[in-house]
Structure 1
């Protein structure tokens, strides 16, 4: 499976990671039918934001309400690894839900995509599209 990701999403998550450093940034990936068209930043409410991320539950609830009202779907999540690599960490794996959603991990100025499966994270192929 290949997911389409808008170039604006890539630019947003890279900018958010740079802005948040040295803390981890996080947010939501929104879109429809296998295309991520929006990256919506959310507050990192983790007790230790330099080491972990936790998406503000209010932001997550708001996106679910919008989707039920016909807005974009929650395709997945993003966060940064300010001093790491763009692959799931041991902590990410411990907190994975197996919900089959996409995860974008930002590190070193790049973004990698992963699928949160019931068998753990799997690389998720993506193609960048305009806008």
Structure 2
């Protein structure tokens, strides 16, 4: 998923900016533009898996995904797996600490699969409560990386 010191990166990612998992019922708000960006990036890099970060913030139980940040897929087999370039994650975490948008989740595509977490995704997940967007077949679906499984999430399109 992320190459390098995963334990260190995971501890950083689990900082106070992690979306709330206490209620388990986060409402996702996303603009049509961000949704289009996810679909376009997946199509652009196919047949390899696209991957990147979901940036935004959470307030009052609403998770707002403000933008998607594409990252190089540094996996040894990018047609079958994804690994987010750790430099992109580190840079995003640094910008968040300086007042920018928070890393609220991750996205990747399944060029020949379904828009749901695969067995490999479940095996490699950090179970950190973050949101995952999986892009496949012209659709985007959102999931919470919960303690023992991925939980489906719904979303609402909002302007801006």
Q: Give the TM-score normalised by the residue count of structure 2.
A: 0.80
- The aligned counterpart of 2:79 is 50
More strand by share: 1
Aligned residues of 1:27 and 1:41 also touching (Cα < 8 A):
yes
Aligned equivalents of 1:5 and 1:99: distance in 2? 21
User: For 1:1-131, what aligned pairs fall within 5 Å after superposition?
Assistant: 1=25, 2-33=27-58, 34-131=63-160
Structure 1: gaps of 5 or more residues: none
> How far 1:5 sits from its partner (Å)?
1.2
Aligned equivalents of 1:115 and 1:72: distance in 2? 19
> How far 1:32 sits from its partner (Å)?
1.1
Q: Give the TM-score normalised by the residue count of structure 1.
A: 0.98
Aligned residues of 1:96 and 1:120 also touching (Cα < 8 A):
no
Aligned residues of 1:78 and 1:103 also touching (Cα < 8 A):
yes
Runs of 4+ in 1 over 2 A off after TM superposition: none
Structure 2: gaps of 5 or more residues: 1-24
Cα deviation, 1:87-124, whole Å, max 9, x if unaligned, reads 00000000111110000000001000000000210001
Aligned alpha-carbon RMSD (Å): 0.7
